[in-house]
Copies of this chain bind each other. A is one copy, B any other.
Amino acid sequence: MKAAHMNLSQLESFVAVADTGSFTEAAYAINLTQSAVSHALAALENELGVTLLERNRKGLVAITNAGEKILPHVRALLTQAEAIAQEAKMAAGMAVGKLRVGNTLCLCPGLLASVLTHFQRQYPDIEVILFEGTMQEVALWVEESIIDVGFVPLPADRSDNTLITTDELVVVVAPGHPLLGQAAVGGDDLNDQNFIMAKSECSFQMMEMTGMDSEQAHRAIRYQASDSATILAMVREGLGITLLPRMMLPANLDGVVAIRLDPPPQLPIGLAIRSQTASPAAKLFTQTALAWTQAQGSHSG
């Protein structure tokens, strides 16, 4: 029983099932028959000698421990397969393929939009697929080959990072707030304030950049909302103050006032990719983002 080689198709099936949680959906997602997926997984499991998925003729398949261990490797393998195809097309002069980009909602949405616009114009044949998640998720996704490139706040210890830009954190308060009377607002002035922040880990990071420690930050948060408009509305009502990257401020902030801090905390934002094994599209994206940064720099300089 000389085991035949495992197959890219089988691996794709496995990932698809793991992602969709269903053989039928997986089959649809990768343009195959449900039967094909079933056969593929049976063959794969047979060859590996391990059960990858706990079947359940009802609709939900659970991944086994073994499957959980193997899945990241499969993802990494398929990512390389895509990279190979892309490199080949690049060598033939065309920039095509898929690029999975991760972004954190609470990091300046305008940055992603600008870079994306430039990128799409420059490489119209690269299909961009967007993923949204927390900073931690985005960083993890890059490592696990779920996405090819992601915006993360630096310094990120894992993976390869290139600094794209920094964004200044500002305090937003209601008109007539006591802080407005001060000549300069430092980190200490924020300690006894009520904060309204986004429901994200990244809120704490931002607060700690003003000089608070983790515990203070947790205590200081009075309300948490998921949308920035909601947060600003609450600030307008005088329920508290908030801390935002400058780029997240709306064009006209009616009813609220932004105050710069002294010293101004700079949130560094970078792009994470898998250093050596990045796909060409991912490298192109990084280049585009860097070029955009420099263009911005020269505009304002």
Contacts and interface: CB of A to CB of B under 8 A. Distances in A.
Contacts of A83: 73
A92 B158 contact: no
A89 interface: yes
B77 A276 contact: no
Contacts of A211: none
Contact of A66 (B6, B65, B66, B87): B87
A88 B45 CA distance: 9
Contacts of A20: none
Given A50-B92, A91-B69, A144 B76 contact: no
Given A89-B49, A91-B50, A84 B276 contact: no
Contacts of A6: 8, 81, 84-85
- Quickly give the copy total for this chain: 2
A275 B76 contact: no
Contact of A76 (B9, B72, B80, B90): B80
A214 interface: no
A160 B95 CA distance: 31
Given A8-B5, A8-B8, A73-B277, A66 B80 contact: no
Size bin of chain A's contact surface: 35 or more
A7 interface: yes
Nearest to A12: B5
Interface string A198-221: 000000000000000000000000
Interface in A235-285: 275-277, 280
A48 interface: yes
A6 B81 CA distance: 9
Interface in A80-108: 80-81, 83-85, 87-92
Contacts of A87: 66, 69-70, 73
Nearest to A90: B69
Contacts of A76: 76, 80, 276-277
A91 B66 contact: yes
Contacts of A112: none
A154 interface: no
Contacts of A74: 80, 84
A212 B163 CA distance: 33
Contacts of A70: 84, 87-88, 91
Given A6-B85, A7-B8, A76-B76, 9 more contacts: A6-B84, A66-B88, A73-B87, A76-B276, A76-B277, A77-B77, A77-B81, A80-B80, A277-B277
Q: Which 8 residue pairs are nearest across A and B when measured between Cβ atoms?
A: A66-B91, A48-B88, A77-B80, A73-B83, A50-B88, A143-B276, A70-B87, A73-B84
